[in-house]
Structure 1
């Protein structure tokens, strides 16, 4: 039953995202080209570059990496693109880069990578996940080989993921400070740029709200811009309109952030406190949440800190906490529907 529900939910999400993908691709690429033209030129012209694109889930990293790959292929047809999340063994990695003699193992991997020098670039999506799966020994071997041969590699990683912390920013990790980092993120000027492209006007205050609640998720940014109307007094109407048209988007947002059932329960409780209790309009304390959920305050504090890292909850003044506005408005709509029936 659970598998069926997940499949139906996944199918629903895919249907809703299909119509947005073209504009999402365009948006993240337009912003990347605007902000990182020198890096694009460097990757297009040099075959020994080392770049790491890092950002949150659904910020457009894979789309940007794929676009860079297509640009490089124009002049260097044999360049290789790997989906790191699907590489579970060194043999699969060897197959991916075009190796032939499986008997020689790492010697064949090194020989094959030598064939990249001055001829083609290697692009690896979800590089951190691949390294975590293949282990420390292979990671050390790969780093030493890339450095020795001096081939060009461009990769993506997910900022704040466990794999990222373990394989990239850990000072003991082989790839620590190995690449030139480029952070994929969206600030006030980026939102303004996209709004102007769409022929829409938005106050700086509401642009700040989009930045805060999106967590650099380009799909959510696109969704809010698409549903914004110039007559709206603030972004809240855009949020309501977007959620009503695409109710699964908030579930997708929570799914992307890998929330546990307990974390979801805490977020939903926090929203209900804000919505239903007049004195909590500015936020709720750890004590308030613990009282409503009957959880130990220390458990609530631990989970709230984790939710802050995921951009699901923010800390306000006087030790109060407030939920992501997108999630809050979704809960407000759900409660309204419950009271209607």
Structure 2
């Protein structure tokens, strides 16, 4: 089919040439004795000629649209290169507004004839927040929280799941966590509370969850009075290597119950992780034998399933994290008082900086008197709010 498409423009041009030649050459028409046959032949030639011309015009229009699209893609690629080349004063790549465009996209767009194909749903790794593989960790909650943590799975159909953890995890916790089973389209199950991360230490506490069907996965931390929170989990193919921490200023700066915190989990062995801290100028943090202050760079290496959670009594928002391989990053507060609220755990899985955008819709709330809207950016920006 693709070979015939390649010759179609030449066939149309040949048809136009032949019909025009016959129409402009009376001697060919006059060789036909019957007037009815002459009229019929003229009508056929005229119709064929008009059809060929119409198709050629359509092809020109399509080709022009493809050329315009190709120019836009080329512009996006150049914008990507410009943004990727920008570095902060510390030499770290800070932003890239557009995701890379594969070379194959450009080459297909540049041709006048294209073939469109679809991928069967059974082979798609993810669509939006739905996927078949997820890397999960649980951050530290209120000190008095005990019990279990929970994972929720939603699919269109029943699915089989496979949960695996590090071979270096203690045997009793691993046996209570690892599992293979079939679940309904809306299911939840609990895991040991011991799977929550400790502070300032490298642990093997990441969880890899695989499903046979496209699934939406979320987690919910243990409930203690009012201290509970959950987050949507991103599929592993949505993970990347650059993240910007989002947290809030702890309500009590001198109490470790109210830490600003974040945690990272590695999906691959020998993943180099760089953390550029952002905190108050007079604050410091002790981490794996070193002391770090605002704008200091901490570097470590994590193997698959390993996690590192960091907490502090000052706000860690703006801390910039890069890695040599894709990682999962979670952030929030161990426990936090916001306006008109009790002490409550806060957690969210962060999207990579490549997924940040410049236009957002904030939904209304039943009672917005205590609503906090936080805006973070990896580069200097102006913020405009319309109500």
The TM-score, its normalising length taken from structure 1, stands at 0.22
- If each structure's helix is expressed as a fraction of its own residues, which one has the higher value? 1
The TM-score, its normalising length taken from structure 2, stands at 0.20
